[in-house]
Structure 1
Amino acid sequence: MNDIVQIEKLQKIFCKGNICIANNINLSIQEGEIFTILGKSGSGKTTFLRMIAGLETPDDGEIIIDNNTVFSKNKNLEPKDREVAVVFQNYALLPHLTIASNITFGSKASKKDLDEVLEKTKLKGQENKFPHELSGGQQQRVALARAIINKPKILLLDEPLSNIDTELRSHLRVELKEMIKAFNITALFITHDKEDAFYLSDRIAIMHGGNILQVGTAKEIYHHPNDLYCANFLGKMTQIGTNSYIRPEHIEICLDGEFEAIIKEITFYGSFYEVLIISNKKELLVHSFDDNLKIGQKIKYKFNGEILKF
C-alpha cells in the first residue's frame, strides 16, 4: 500500500502552561486504511487531527497528503485546498436544509454524485426530509455523505460516536465501518474509546502527552505493548513479579492448576466473571466463565498466556 499521509517531525506547543500537544510526531497513513489515534482526553489527538485539516497551525514539521506538502515552514495551505473532509462530534447538520441540500452544501457535486452517495449511505428516499426527521444513525450517514461527496483524499473523524448511548453506539459503529469501506476511502479516526478503536481500525496509534507511543494492529498493541502505559491503557493486568504482568484472561482456574488461591470477590459482567483471588498474600484478577464459583472457595490456577515484561 502507498502512504497517502506522511507526518514528519510535527510539533505544537500551547503557550499557556507550555503544554506540548505534538512532540516531533512521525507517522504515516496508508491509502484505503482506517487509522485511529487512541488516547485519553488531553493527549493531543484532536489537535493532531485539526492540524492535518488545517484548522490548527503547527509550530514545526511537515504534513504531506498524497505527495503534496500542505504544511511546512514555508507553506500552509487553507483547509479547502487540502482535499480533506471532517466529520465532527455533533455532525453540524443545518436544520433548515433538506438532507440533499445538507449533503451538497458548499459542494460542486453533480446530481449523479449525489445519487451515488445517497445509495451507498442508504439514504435513498430520505433526501427531501429535514435532519430532525431522521434517526441518530441516519444523521451520522448524512454527515458522512456530506464529507465524502467531494471525494477527499482523507476523511477525518473527530470522535463521532462519543455522544451516543451504548446500545445505538454499537449499531452505528458497524454502519460507519461498512460505509467507509464501501467508498474505499482513507480515514483517520480520533477516539478515547478502546472498543471503537479495536472494531473500526486497520491500525491504531496510542497517543499520550503529545507523543505517539506505539503503532500497530489491535492484536499487536494489545498482546505486545511497548510499555507499561500502553499495556494498562488497553486492558487490566496483574503484577506477578518484578516487572512482570499478566492479563486476567491468561490466568485459568482449573483442577490441575499449579498454584492455590482463595476467591475474594466475584463480579458478573454478562459474558464473563471477573474473579479476584488471593494467592500467597497477592491479589490476582482472573476472567472466568464458571457459574459455580463462590466467594471464600479454595481453587487452583495456572498461567496459560504470555507474561508481559517491562
Structure 2
Amino acid sequence: MKKIVEIRNLRKTFCKGDICVANSLNLHLFEGEIFTVLGTSGSGKTTFLRMIAGLEKPDSGEISIDNRIVFSKNIDIEPNQREVAIVFQNYALLPHINVASNILFGSNATKKELEDILEKTKLKGHEDKYPHELSGGQQQRVALARAIINRPKILLLDEPLSNIDTELRNILRAELKEMIKSLNITALFITHDKEDAFFLSDRIAIMHGGDILQVGTSKEIYNNPADLYCAKFLGKVTKIDEKSYIRPENINICENAEREGVIKDIIFYGSFYEITVLSNNQNLLVHSFDDNLKIGQKIKLSFGNKILKF
C-alpha cells in the first residue's frame, strides 16, 4: 500500500526543553486508512497533529506528505501549501453565511465541484440553510465538506466527537466513518476516547508522555498490549501474580478449575456482571453473564491461555 504520510524522528519540546511532547516519533499512514492517535490529555497527540498541519514547528525530524518533504532541517512548508485539511472539535462554522458559503470559504472550487461535494456528503438541498438550521450530523458534514473540497492529501480530525452526548455521538461517529471511507480519504484522527478509536480506526497508535507506545489494529493492541500501561489504558486488567495479568472477560467460572475464590462484590452493568473475587489474598475482577451468583459464594476460576505477561 502507498504511504501518504511519513514521520521520521519527530521531536518537540516546550518550556525551554523541560517538557517533551513528541519524543523522536516515527509513524506512517497508508492511503485511504483512518489512523488514530489515542492518548490522554497532555500525551502530545494534539501537538503531533498540529506539527503535521504546520501549525507547530518541530525541533527536529522530518514530515513527508505524498512523498514530498514538508518539514525537515532546511524545509518548512507553509500550512496552506501542505495539502492538509483540519476538522476541529466545534466544526468552526460561520453562523452568518449559508452552507454553500461555509463550504466554499477560503476555497477556489468551482460550482461543479461544490455540487459534487454536496452530493457526496449528502448535503444537496441544504446549501441555502444556515448552521443553526442544521442537525448535529449535518453540521459535521458541512465541516467535512469544507475540509475536503480542495482534495487534501490528508484529513486531520482534532477530536470532532468530543463534548457530544452519547446518543448523538454514536450517530455522528457512524456517519463520519461512512463518509471518510466512501470518499477514500486518508485521515488522522486524534482522540482520548477508546470507543471512538476502536469504532473508527484501521490502525491505532497509543501515545503517552510524548512517546508512541504501540501501533496496531484495535484487536492487536487490545489482545497483545505492549506494556502494562497500554493494557490498563485500553480496558480493565486483573493481576494474577507478580508478572501475570488477565482481562476480566477472559476468566471463566467453572467447577473443574483449580483456583478457588469467594465472591466479595457483584456489580450489574446491563450486558454483564462484574464480580470481585477474593482468591489467594488477591481481588480478581471477573465478567460473567450468570444471574445466579451471590456474594459470599465459593467459586472456582480458570484463566485459559490469554494471560498477559509484563
Which residue matches 1:78?
78
Opposite residue 153 of structure 2, the aligned amino acid is K
TM-score normalised per structure 2: 0.98
Structure 1: stretches of 5+ with no match in the other structure: none
* Structure-2 separation of matches of 1:199 and 1:305: 26
Q: Which runs of 4+ in 1 moved over 4 A?
A: none
1:267 aligns with 2:267: yes
Opposite residue 77 of structure 2, the aligned amino acid is L
Partner secondary structure for residue 169 of structure 2: helix
Which residue matches 2:172?
172
Which residue matches 2:157?
157
* Structure-2 separation of matches of 1:259 and 1:243: 17
Which residue matches 1:138?
138
Opposite residue 182 of structure 2, the aligned amino acid is A
Which residue matches 1:213?
213
Number of residue pairs the alignment of both structures matches: 310
Opposite residue 122 of structure 1, the aligned amino acid is K
Greater mean deviation of Cα atoms: 271-280 or 154-163: 271-280
8 Å Cα contact 1:277/1:284 also seen in 2: yes
Greater mean deviation of Cα atoms: 81-90 or 296-305: 296-305
Which residue matches 2:240?
240
Cα deviations across residues 71-119 of structure 1 (Å, max 9, x unaligned)?
1111111111000000000100000010111011111112222122112
Q: CA deviation at 1:256?
A: 3.0
Q: CA deviation at 1:17?
A: 7.1
Greater mean deviation of Cα atoms: 90-99 or 234-243: 234-243
Cα deviations across residues 10-31 of structure 1 (Å, max 9, x unaligned)?
1100025711010111111111
Opposite residue 114 of structure 1, the aligned amino acid is L
Which residue matches 1:95?
95
8 Å Cα contact 1:21/1:210 also seen in 2: yes
* Structure-2 separation of matches of 1:80 and 1:299: 63
Which residue matches 1:121?
121
Partner secondary structure for residue 240 of structure 2: strand
Cα deviations across residues 241-282 of structure 1 (Å, max 9, x unaligned)?
121100001101123333221111111111111111111221
Opposite residue 139 of structure 2, the aligned amino acid is Q
Alignment RMSD (CA, Å):
1.1
Partner secondary structure for residue 58 of structure 2: coil
Which residue matches 1:11?
11
* Structure-2 separation of matches of 1:305 and 1:103: 53
Which residue matches 1:229?
229
Partner secondary structure for residue 91 of structure 2: coil
Opposite residue 77 of structure 1, the aligned amino acid is I
* Structure-2 separation of matches of 1:109 and 1:193: 34
Cα deviations across residues 20-74 of structure 1 (Å, max 9, x unaligned)?
0101111111111000000000000000000000111111111100011101111
8 Å Cα contact 1:251/1:305 also seen in 2: no
Partner secondary structure for residue 277 of structure 1: strand
Structure 2: stretches of 5+ with no match in the other structure: none
Which residue matches 1:286?
286
Q: CA deviation at 1:304?
A: 2.7
Partner secondary structure for residue 284 of structure 1: strand
Greater mean deviation of Cα atoms: 1-10 or 106-115: 106-115
